[in-house]
Structure 1
């Protein structure tokens, strides 16, 4: 009894059920394979395969580059910002007007006036050939060999009828006298009659610098309301509540003119995505009394980057008008001031650019579409070529080929 062993016999019905299940599962195969004996490989099929593989690789590289690239998607909204300030960045060269004669003024519809702006704005004196003389603010007397000898500490110079800007009522320098005159709305037309100007050799310095040019660069802060920024000759004055300029020193030299080169001009933070329309613009003339007007439409712009940071700046469009204001007698037409004027208006629209990169799922979808589409089209072409070859060979065998 101990030598007897129990043998397990497989149930024939159980094996049959598994085989049936596997066969049923095979029926789901959408890619039925022909027998190797029935596969026919041709030279035309190999050529079509190589061509289709080339196009697949080419399109896959293009799709990969597109997936990795970051795009900017614009959206337009109403600008709801209030009480904002706007920065105007500039770099402009005036080859035929000296720095001491160049004034930068800002006016807006809110009533704010900034006359002869000097804060954050630098004037660089240029020689007639365009080389830099000095890089400090270019005014009469700076870096020209020293200042006049110091006076008695108790000295109190006359203001010659002007209004002094100090409690003592003293004007100890030529510039003090000039400011006192400006407070009265007068012009300093005869500096040789002013003791302080004679001591500082003011007239000689003006004559020395009269052949120079000037580069103005820097930035100014303005209210974000319509207004204008202009470069004009002479110091600005207020007479009868009107904004005027002292042209006495400008009109004596026919070589002065407001031909200019705008190296760069932007409103707000400078962004490498944006190209400003006035960059590297050149306007050169030979007339002294010539007015350049640029009408600027400023559009608020915001960039929302993928790293979460936001940058607020502005874009602008431009129209321009140039006018020769010389009258028949050689004098400027009344009411026209020679200079360069940037009249800016603010658009109520806000353009928001959002950085966008295609998701990886879209990249996979496009890859499948490229591979599947090319293989399908190549299969159709291969089938057509194969049938054409078979038909031609059959005709040749029957003696009908030519």
Structure 2
């Protein structure tokens, strides 16, 4: 009731605003300005999307540091199938300290068949193809592998669905060994090993040479724990030979790797390898040895893989700086185009108006000459009586 009785100025209430605004008379609207505003709006939306994607994504940094954990143990994972029965071959791991590590840990041997079932062959061919692709394209997709948080491929061989009718003709050697971080070799050769005070020997004198066959398949050969982003070059390797006495050598360089991701941390190992194949001539008096030798050595350096991301403050500063730069650039370009158009239109249209104005002036002068009055020859009436004089009443 009190508000109804008061005389309230509606105009004052409408103009009441906590945020001052520019009057409509001060605003200059144009098609060019609208186009620049629309383009700036689209660019700002794209920059916001790009900066947000860059912030959510992470970067990988690789550093090399000396490996001071030389007293620690190195885990070696092995799964190798050799085309010879387990009773005819022996496997050992010997390092530069002349220590036979098979006395500490034991690899398991399993009689099997060299020919794979269709499911096993499909699995192994997929492992071989995938590992070959990763080795060739690693430099192009290595960041994706490290950030995937998933293992590249499962190397667990499927079990056999049927048993062949003939006896086993191959031996599967698999397991995990904890070895010293020094140079050594894991080898598979003819005859069972016999440990001696200064080493070991393989007793192969009772085995004929024609039964030698070191055709082999590597289903797993890695160091450390499984980790995303690490490629094991030997997995999926298959060597087939028709020679009886062949020496297969793999020279492996093992590098310790510390992984510090945003979600997890782990320590593992990666390695590079070079292979060499030699035909060993087993003649009388020869010291040539046929078999499969994995010669490994550890690097003095280790790799640290660090996943980094900008902080929220850096993200906001970059975002505000990008948006402010777009606004300033938009204003400068808009003023430049507007000024250029004003100068161009003034010169062009001003010349046209001057020419049209000159034409009009000339025509006016001509008309004045035609319609000019000769004050000398003024016509006067013959008598004054014909002139009616009208006087204004008093």
Give the TM-score, by structure 2 length: 0.61
2:30 equivalent in structure 1: 42
Q: Does 1:386 align with 2:341?
A: no
2:327 equivalent in structure 1: 375
Q: Write the deviation string for residues 251-286 of structure 1: whole angstroms up to 9, x where unpaired.
A: 2337x23243x3332211121132233333343333
In structure 2, which of residues 77, 99, 113 is the aligned counterpart of residue 112 of structure 1?
99
Q: Write the deviation string for residues 118-172 of structure 1: whole angstroms up to 9, x where unpaired.
A: 8354536135244699xxxxxxxxxxxxxxxxxxxxxxxxxxxxxxxxxxxxxxx
Q: Write the deviation string for residues 58-94 of structure 1: whole angstroms up to 9, x where unpaired.
A: 3322322332334443443322224321111133344
Aligned CA RMSD, in angstroms, stands at: 3.7
1:363 equivalent in structure 2: 315
Runs of 4+ in 1 over 6 A off after TM superposition: 330-333
**Alignment length, in residue pairs?**
288
- Runs of 5+ consecutive residues of structure 1 not aligned to the other structure: 1-31, 134-206
Contact 2:91 2:193 (C-alpha < 8 Å) held by counterparts: no
Contact 1:91 1:263 (C-alpha < 8 Å) held by counterparts: yes
CA shift, 1:392, in A, is: 4.7
Q: 1:284 to 1:252 in 2, by over 3 A?
A: closer
Contact 1:105 1:116 (C-alpha < 8 Å) held by counterparts: no
Structure-1 separation of matches of 2:322 and 2:111: 60
CA shift, 1:107, in A, is: 0.4
Q: Does 1:209 align with 2:158?
A: no
In structure 1, which of residues 275, 285, 288 is the aligned counterpart of residue 244 of structure 2?
288
Spell out the pairing of 1:3-402 with structure 2 (5 A cutoff): 36-94=24-82, 96-115=83-102, 119=106, 121=108, 123=110, 125-130=112-117, 208-209=166-167, 212-237=169-194, 243-246=201-204, 248-249=206-207, 251-253=209-211, 256-260=213-217, 262-306=218-262, 310-325=265-280, 327=281, 334-394=286-346, 397=349
Structure-1 separation of matches of 2:300 and 2:314: 36
Give the TM-score, by structure 1 length: 0.60
2:127 equivalent in structure 1: none
Contact 2:246 2:291 (C-alpha < 8 Å) held by counterparts: yes
Q: Write the deviation string for residues 6-58 of structure 1: whole angstroms up to 9, x where unpaired.
A: xxxxxxxxxxxxxxxxxxxxxxxxxx997643433333433333333333223
Q: 1:294 to 1:241 in 2, by over 3 A?
A: closer
**Which has more helix, going by share of residues?**
2
CA shift, 1:289, in A, is: 2.3
Structure-1 separation of matches of 2:103 and 2:316: 61
- Runs of 5+ consecutive residues of structure 2 not aligned to the other structure: 1-19, 121-164, 353-394
Structure-2 separation of matches of 1:34 and 1:132: 76
